[in-house]
Amino acid sequence: MEFLKTSLLLLAIFMAFLCSSQGYVFYVGGKQGWSANPSEDYVQWAERNRFQVNDTLVFKYEKGQNSVLVVNREDYYKCNVENPINKYTDGNTEFKLDRSGSFFFIGGNADYCQKGQRLIVVVLAVRNETQTPTPTPSVPGNPPVLSPPSESPEGSPSPASSPAGDENSPAPAPHGSAPGLTRPVVWVLGVGFGVSVVLGNFVGLYI
């Protein structure tokens, strides 16, 4: 039974990792969706959220009356709808953020874009779980000079001489702070712990 408990725990953690790799789903604009006359500026909406690689944006709008264009930076600020990178017209567009950096979206109608139907999403760079603190470069200085040992009566300890230049020696660099856990890792640990407790109690009923 102990082997069964361990197997179920490992399975729960593995499934949690699979779920976390899918990222989060964000509905652009919240309840108002992808609107030609937004009550809240889409840039402000984006600033209230935190986007990472593998997250998904969902644009909800009226099919046939609106669209979503993925454009470059220049076309975004000019509301140029003539040369999009991608165009979506299905009314329920799902766009996966597959890289870090900036993404630019505008409405398919230039007038809508001018009225505020445009969005910039900045995706955070992927952080490594293990990070080595960068060593602090030492300040060059004069090498320490040891004083010759002074003669002292036999049996009496001679005071330890401190090397010259200690006052000018650089202090040891402080240890870097431990890298923080990324959002998926925290989520995985929480789900894995919860599932393991439930499964452990369930299996314990039959032991």
Domains and CATH numbers, the chain: 23-123 (2.60.40.420)
User: In 75-92, which positions are buried (b, 16+ CB within 10 angstroms) versus exposed (e)?
Assistant: bbeebbbeebeeebeebe
Query: Quick one: pLDDT at residue 117?
Result: 96
The rounded mean pLDDT for the chain is 72
Task: Provide the Cα torsion 186, 188, 191, 196; round to 10°.
Answer: -120
pTM of the model: 0.56
pLDDT tens per residue across span 144-163: 555 555 554 454 444 444 44
User: Is the pLDDT reported for residue 182 higher than 90?
Assistant: no
Q: How far apart are CA 52 and CA 23, in angstroms?
A: 8
CA angle 78, 79, 84 (to 5 degrees): 110
User: Is the pLDDT reported for residue 12 higher than 90?
Assistant: no
Tokens of 18: 């699979």
